[in-house]
Amino acid sequence: MEHASSFAGCTLATVLKTAPLDALENRILLCHALRLTRVQLITQSERRLTLAEADALGALFARRLRGEPIAYIVGAREFYGLDFRVTPDVLIPRPDTELLVELAMERLPQGGRLLDMGTGSGAIAVAIAHTRPDASISALDASAAALEVARGNASTNGVQVDFRLSDWYQGLPAATPAFDVIAANPPYIVAGDAHLSQGDLRFEPVDALTDHADGLSDLRSIIAGAGAHLRRGGWLLMEHGYDQAAAVRALLSGTGFGEVQSWKDLAGIERVSGGRLG
């Protein structure tokens, strides 16, 4: 960022008012650069920045102005009331995915077993394990780097999750007991979709966003293999694109699932679809 050193000697209150981002992002980056809490930022509002602090802050503003997501800049994102470390190896957890967490927990019996497929940062698995310590949670991902992040998030949040490197079901041991719930947030953006080159998605791992096909190929794989890993009466729940609900319901019904339905996210969009194994 040009003229970053112009913040040198300015008070924190002045920086908050004059920095180039919106008030929330200014505050987040200022707290991150100076390692201050929000309360400390208020109580130290008349503190003046040194030249080194101004340069460090300016570098963060420059990254954000180039479009890099705040979550990657600060290395963290809140999800389901918990703090998660995020890196460019994993998708940034989004509030809409909390719907999948809620639906999965509603259908997970006491002492039940849940499988989170394509866990990424571990957000879904860790959130459920934290809320439902009675349950046994397993999580899969094809990325070793993502699993490293997920394991760290489980440790930070004090939960036990059985993480496994696996391309969908392939890494599950043959003797694995059946699961009561399978939850998945797979890549579902159609190859070539303009959104992949816009906003935060430009910086997120492309293989976690798109199946490089019609957006449904990974969903098909998950549905096709679910019957071998779900107990009778168990649920398969999947997040998908804004316009894919009808197609996913048809895939579920055509594979023998009952009680097939879709649920709407905070924006009123059908975001999660699922069914019960008969």
Binding-site residues from annotation for S-adenosyl-L-methionine: 118-122, 141, 168, 185
Name the one residue in this structure whose structure tokens are 């996210």: 265
Binding-site residues from annotation for substrate: 185-188
In 3D space, the residue among 194, 210, 179 whose CA is nearest the CA of residue 114 turns out to be 179
CA-angle at 185, arms to 181 and 187, nearest 5°: 140
Name the one residue in this structure whose structure tokens are 């804004």: 242
3-state secondary structure the chain: CCCHHHHCCCEHHHHHHHCCCCHHHHHHHHHHHHCCCHHHHHHCCCCECCHHHHHHHHHHHHHHHCCCCHHHHHCEEEECCEEEECCCCCCCCCHHHHHHHHHHHHHCCCCCEEEEECCCCCHHHHHHHHHCCCCEEEEEECCHHHHHHHHHHHHHCCCCCEEEECCHHHHCCCCCCCEEEEEECCCCECCCCHHHHCHHHHHCCHHHHECCCCCCHHHHHHHHHHCCCEEEEEEEEEECCCCCHHHHHHHHHHCCEEEEEEEECCCCCEEEEEEEEC
The residue count for the chain: 278
CA–CA separation, 200 and 39 (whole Å): 28
Token couple for 136: 């046994």
CA–CA separation, 193 and 185 (whole Å): 18
Binding-site residues from annotation: 118-122, 141, 168, 185-188
